[in-house]
Amino acid sequence: MSLREPSETRAVTLVDIPLIRRLSERGTVLDSEICFTRDAGGPQAARFFTLLLPYGGVSTIIARANQQHVVGQFRMDTDEDHLAHITYVAPTLNEGDDNTAWLHLLDAMAVDAGKRGAHVLIAEVDEMAPLFTTLRTAAYSIYARQEIWCRPAGEQTLSWQPVDLTEASEDDLAEIHALYGNIIPKLVQQITYLPQARSGYVYRHNERVEGFVGVTQGKQGVYLTPLLHPDAFRDAPAIIAAAATQANRSASVPVYVRVRRYQDWLDRALTETGFNITARQAVMVKHITAGVRTASFAPLHHLVEGAVPNSAKPPHKGLMDGS
């Protein structure tokens, strides 16, 4: 009977570069924003290898079990330091593979994220992928479902009345956050980043903010996250088209739009503006239990009923005789 190889998890070091290079030939991106702006919907080995190396704001961990090595990375945003998001896992888990090493990796990332102050660890994964089942085994729950819509690079001819979008500023944040609170379900707010003024466009109607479109631009794509009030449904196609047009890279790279199921009324607007679904994902979340320091009590020895513990002092003599 053969002995099972002991498992190991640790932070990646420079010694691991050859191993990471080999593992990065096949990998899974679990952060759609990174996937569609840096990796064009599918990581290429060289770019994947570069991003897996440690850099600011991320943690990269390697796990070994049953002669299988797996490497993974998560990031934390300084604006939402209670949220951690898994970015990469390599190699890709295939149907029928022993997932022991992947489970060790997921546990190690949760522990490391908790040490860094995160309350939850998030992953965006295809529900048909074997990794989805492994995440469920690792106590991840589905908090939302989403679709990624894509429009090829190039200018879009508008067939409707154009709308004005302005770059968001700090003065808009209060209204943007109020819109966020009114539209996004309370459960999903726990695992969603608050909009930041530095990265989006505002739509105003009747002197109030009825829409905000977050924008992330990368070498491989433009990624939009619309936050539109249902009252703006008639202008939704024009708002999305205007946001895509104002993004300065949209003429040369594809434009992607993330739509979660509570926003499914946007499907028609996206179809009208030339977008098609390119991915369907589950947003999976693992809650990280914060450590609680246990109080330490010294034992009391030789106590008898009615006795006073040694730590208590008797009343002052002067108080006892009334002086």
Q: Which CATH homologous superfamily contains domain 150-278?
A: Gcn5-related N-acetyltransferase (GNAT) (3.40.630.30)
The pairing of beta strand 28-29 with beta strand 80-90: antiparallel
Residue 296 has pLDDT above 60, yes or no: no
Weakest mean pLDDT among 99-103, 153-157, 278-282: 153-157
Weakest mean pLDDT among 23-32, 208-217, 256-265, 314-323: 314-323
Report the predicted TM-score, pTM, of the whole model to 2 decimal places. Answer: 0.82
Q: Which CATH homologous superfamily contains domain 8-139?
A: Gcn5-related N-acetyltransferase (GNAT) (3.40.630.30)
Domain ranges for the chain: 8-139, 150-278
Report pLDDT for 160. Answer: 67
142-195 pLDDT tens trace: 999 999 999 998 766 566 677 899 999 999 999 999 999 999 999 999 999 888
- What residues pair up with 204 in beta bridges, in sequence order? 209
Residue 283 in tokens: 């947003």
Residue 293 has pLDDT above 50, yes or no: no
Distance in angstroms (rounded) separating the CA atoms of residues 285 and 283: 7
Longest dimension (CA), the chain: 99
CA dihedral 100, 105, 106, 107 (to 10 degrees): 90
Q: Are 8-139 and 150-278 in the same CATH fold?
A: yes
Report pLDDT for 185. Answer: 94
Residue, of 78 and 96, whose pLDDT is higher: 96
